[in-house]
Structures are given as structure tokens and as C-alpha cells.
Amino acid sequence: MADQEIPATNPESEAIADNKVVSFHYRLAEVMPDGTRSEWMEESHDAQPLLYLHGFHNVITGLEKALAGKRVGDAIEITLTPDEAYGQRDPKAIQRVPIKHLHFPGNSKLQRGALAVVQTKHGRRNVIVGKPGKFNADVDFNHPLAGRTLFYAVEVVAIRDATEEEIAHGHVHGVGGHHH
């Protein structure tokens, strides 16, 4: 299973619904307050499509709702408010953390705007460094896209039934999914 392709089963009739594994390509831009869009911030077209298990909130709520009922080959464009995407920014999510608890991926180092990882009682969390100090740093636990209105252009590539194990675990396994 881990190295299998993700073929669509009967693409003419199969629609996205709960317990389906969905493969899609996307482009993401921010919608500015004046209604214009930024340049594309992310896209998957030069890489493998994204996979998720529909009905398990493995993608943002607004996108999952918009994809329900779509079929292979369908393309949608959707604008999502912060509440439909990554939520509103929470000022309480900015916290002071001892620098010794921050781990920096790659060659990044302690500086304003740097991405860091911190271990919490709820697991590893990505944070953005706000104000670095000598022993502590103010870090932002908000998702980097929280508070933003987002525009997605999405194309459904494949749909298949999820395995019993995927449903039990609540996420996709194999290529493009979770590996245990």
C-alpha cells in the first residue's frame, strides 16, 4: 500500500464524500482588504498533489466544505474568510518562551520573523519569533495565515475509498499520507 498510486475509482460517478481519500492540486493567494489578490503564496503544481481524508478535518474547514460533492477533473476557485480558514489571530497566542526550548530548522537562527519549533504538552508546535531577547523570546503560536482572507484555486486529481485503517486513524496512509 505504501508505494501504490492513488487511482480514481470510476471517476465519472465518484464524488467527494466522507471516508474518501482526495488528491488535489492547489494555488493559494491572500485577498487584500481592497479585494485584490497577492501573488501566489503557495502551490502544489510542481510537486505531488496533496491528499486528505474527507470528513476528518485534515484540511481547513472551508476548503473541505467546498470540495464536498466534487469529482475528478473539477476545478474550483474559492475565497475563505479567516473563520473558514485558519481562524482569527489570538493575541493570547503570543507567549514568552525560554530560548533553550526553541529549535530552529535548517540554518535559521534566533531573529525576528524566524520559524522555530517548540515542544508543548500538546506536541511539537511551529512558532514565529517576535521579539528575541538574551534568555527568552516572545513567540507567536498563531498559524502564520490566521486572520487572513485566502483565495484558493483547486483541481481534484483523484478520489478513492479510504481503507479501514485510514478511517480508524483519521488520516491518509501511504504515498502523500502518514507513515507509521
4-31: per-residue pLDDT in tens?
444 544 545 689 999 999 999 999 999 9
**Topology of domain 91-140, per CATH?**
Thrombin, subunit H (2.40.10)
pLDDT value of residue 55:
96
Q: Which cell goes with 1? A: 500500500
Q: Is residue 92 within 8 Å of residue 55, measured between CB atoms?
A: no
Backbone angles phi, psi at 107, to 5 degrees: -100, 10
Query: Could you tell me which residues come within 8 angstroms of residue 97 by beta carbon, excluding any fewer than 6 positions away?
Result: 118, 127, 136, 137, 138, 139
The full set of domain ranges for the chain reads: 20-86+145-169, 91-140
Q: Which cell goes with 111? A: 531573529
pLDDT value of residue 158:
95
pLDDT value of residue 4:
44
Segments of the chain scoring below 50 in pLDDT: 1-6, 8-9, 11
Each residue's pLDDT tens digit, 64-87: 999 999 999 999 999 999 999 999
pLDDT value of residue 106:
80
**Topology of domain 20-86+145-169, per CATH?**
Chitinase A; domain 3 (3.10.50)
